[in-house]
């Protein structure tokens, strides 16, 4: 259904645009690997001096940070008109931080959990790679066949 010849190209974001996009959102998905396999969790985060921080309580996210293995944070967003989308992926390692300065900086940056409950651990993701892309959202009609008045797929012309 989509005419790729007329579709705008996906723009690969440079590092500065990736961080700009990350600063414009506050919720992402954190992917970690556990003994049971990969897990993905929503987290609210803030960028902080070239890193990303979030708060968490005891559980899988904290265990992953304490283990020091690789993690991935992915965040998405739209422009004000809902016509252009972006997606940024931050790959790195997570570490629990507990200095008073780190906690103060995170609070000043506006980091506060959405979900009730204990979130006493501050986790910092130090990136090894930050990538992103931006693209124009394709109109739904270019993907789905037209429907007739009854809601059925309209026959192709010439059929």
pLDDT at 1 over 50: no
2, pLDDT greater than 50 = no
pLDDT at 109: 81
What is residue 7's predicted lDDT score, i.e. its pLDDT?
A: 57
Residue pLDDT, tens place only, 4-60: 555 568 999 999 999 999 999 999 999 999 888 999 999 999 998 899 999 998 999
The rounded distance, in Å, linking the Cα atoms of 48 and 146 is 47
Residue 30 C-alpha from the chain's centroid: 8
CATH node for 11-137: 2.30.110.10
pLDDT reported for residue 52: 95
75-104: average pLDDT: 91
What pTM value is reported for the model?
Answer: 0.81
Identify the CA nearest to 93 among candidates 57, 60, 123, 55. 123
* pLDDT at residue 140, as a whole number: 65
Q: What is the pLDDT of residue 135?
A: 94
Q: Note the pLDDT of residue 103.
A: 81
Q: What is the pLDDT of residues 112-139, one digit of tens each?
A: 777 777 788 899 999 999 999 999 988 7
Residues 47 and 22: beta-carbon distance below 8 Å: yes
Q: Is the pLDDT of residue 108 over 70?
A: yes
Domain extents for the chain?
11-137
As a residue count, the chain comes to 159
């Amino acid at each position: 259904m989509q005419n790729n010849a007329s579709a705008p190209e996906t723009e690969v974001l440079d590092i500065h645009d990736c961080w700009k996009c990350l600063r414009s959102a506050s919720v992402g998905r954190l992917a970690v690997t556990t003994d049971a396999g990969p897990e993905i969790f929503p987290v609210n985060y803030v960028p902080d001096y070239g890193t990303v921080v979030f708060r968490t309580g005891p559980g899988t996210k904290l265990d992953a940070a304490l283990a020091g293995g690789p993690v991935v944070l992915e965040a998405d967003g739209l422009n004000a008109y809902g016509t252009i989308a972006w997606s940024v992926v931050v790959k790195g390692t997570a570490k629990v931080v507990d200095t008073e300065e780190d906690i103060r900086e995170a609070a000043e940056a506006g980091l506060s959990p959405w979900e009730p409950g204990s979130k006493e651990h501050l986790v910092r993701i130090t990136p090894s790679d930050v990538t992103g892309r931006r693209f124009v959202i394709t109109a739904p009609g270019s993907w789905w066949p037209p429907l007739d008045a009854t809601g059925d797929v309209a026959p192709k012309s010439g059929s």
